[in-house]
């Protein structure tokens, strides 16, 4: 697991982006994707890669026309990472997924999910049927200083509330539940 408070998924705005993607589009992908709590555990674990997570990555890679076998999913993810960042690809090659920096794991998974928009035709067709208001999430509120607050709640009652201060360019977890269901 993560060794210090700075190295938690909730310290990275891209983790919230991933959770929002799963909430908004997970069903349209036709995959069983992890809930917020599971995903955080899977990504922060530096001792093991959960087989369900690896299987999900393998399926996502296949859907963007990467023919890989399950036992080679990590090599496929490395090659995918090289398509947008040689640094991320190199990090995965050198350390493997489980020992890569948390920031890299999150970034690679986010890019893999976003690649579904462009490269997975069936998914892209479903998303194109949605209206603009269904595609764009809005903050759950703003304070008098203009700071936005974002709320994420999954089917297992995993709750995360973030504060997004555009002026200070900060993204902060302000509240979370301790509940995780599997």
pLDDT for 146-176, tens place per residue?
A: 999 999 888 888 888 999 998 888 888 898 8
Domain-wise residue ranges, the chain = 9-137
Res 3: pLDDT: 45
3-state SS class at 21: helix
**Model confidence pLDDT, tens digit, residues 109-155:** 999 999 999 999 999 999 999 888 888 888 899 999 999 999 988 88
CA distances from 39 to 66, 98, 135 (A): 23, 13, 22
The percent of residues above 70 in pLDDT, for the chain, comes to 95
Q: How confident is the model at residue 1 (pLDDT cuts 50, 70, 90)?
A: very low
Taking residues 83-96, what's their average pLDDT? Answer: 96
Cα diameter, the chain: 52
Query: H-type helices in the chain, by residue range?
Result: 13-29, 36-44, 51-63, 73-84, 86-99, 102-119, 121-128, 132-135
**pLDDT tens across 3-41, in order?**
445 689 988 999 999 999 988 898 888 888 888 889 999
By CB atoms closer than 10 A (0-12, 13-18, 19+), residue 167 is: exposed
């Amino acid at each position: 697991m993560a060794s210090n408070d700075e190295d938690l998924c909730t310290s990275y705005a891209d983790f919230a982006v991933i959770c929002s993607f799963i909430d908004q589009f997970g069903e349209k992908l036709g995959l069983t994707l992890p809930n917020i709590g599971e995903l955080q555990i899977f990504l922060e674990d530096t001792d093991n890669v959960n087989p369900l997570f690896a299987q999900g990555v393998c399926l996502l890679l296949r859907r963007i026309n990467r023919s890989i076998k399950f036992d080679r999913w990590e090599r496929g993810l490395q090659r995918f990472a090289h398509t947008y960042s040689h640094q991320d690809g190199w990090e995965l090659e050198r350390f493997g997924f489980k020992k890569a920096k948390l920031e890299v794991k999150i970034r690679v998974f986010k890019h893999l999910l976003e690649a579904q928009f462009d490269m997975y035709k069936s998914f892209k067709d479903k998303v194109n049927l949605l209206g603009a208001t269904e595609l764009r999430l809005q903050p759950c509120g703003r304070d008098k200083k203009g700071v936005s607050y974002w709320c994420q709640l999954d089917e297992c009652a995993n709750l995360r509330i973030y504060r997004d201060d555009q002026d200070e360019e900060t993204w902060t977890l302000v509240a979370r539940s301790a509940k995780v269901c599997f």
